[in-house]
Amino acid sequence: MGKQLFEDCVKYCRTDAGYAALKDVRTKTQSDSMESFVFAETFKYFYLIFAPQTALDFNKITFNTEAHSFLNSIPESLLLTGPNIRANAATKRDSFRD
């Protein structure tokens, strides 16, 4: 799905000067503008989708909604990691209620 999103972004939004927004996704009509978040956020998310898993330690980094990275200040014992993340999440949630 990520590959298709990236390919469609390049195919339908790429211009000679950068990347345009689409006025209508059904017709693929481009607007004559490029939002600043295209490179600041959208392509950063594409990078994160395709980067090797070893590129970043997601137990130590959190991204906000604008794709800015922050080092976690949460103790590692409270992080929800591992194959049973839902079970870990429920355990952590319940421990916060006490």
State how far the Cα of 62 lies from the Cα of 64, in Å rounded to an integer.
Answer: 7
Among 86, 51, 5, which residue's Cα sits nearest to residue 61? 51
Do residue 34 and residue 13 come from a single domain? Answer: yes
Instruction: State how far the alpha carbon of 10 is from the alpha carbons of 14, 17, 26, 68, 75, in Å.
Output: 5, 13, 16, 23, 40
* Domain containing residue 21: 1-54
Do residue 44 and residue 62 come from a single domain? Answer: no
Do residue 16 and residue 30 come from a single domain? Answer: yes
Do residue 3 and residue 49 come from a single domain? Answer: yes
Tell me the pLDDT of the chain (98 aa) as tens digits.
Answer: 889 999 999 999 999 999 999 999 999 999 998 888 888 888 888 888 888 888 888 778 888 888 888 888 767 666 666 555 555 555 554 554 44
Do residue 86 and residue 63 come from a single domain? Answer: yes
pLDDT per position as a tens digit, 37-48: 888 888 888 888
Q: Which amino acid is at 37?
A: F
Among 24, 23, 25, which residue's Cα sits nearest to residue 5? 25
What are the phi and psi torsion angles at 43 (to 5°)?
-75, -25
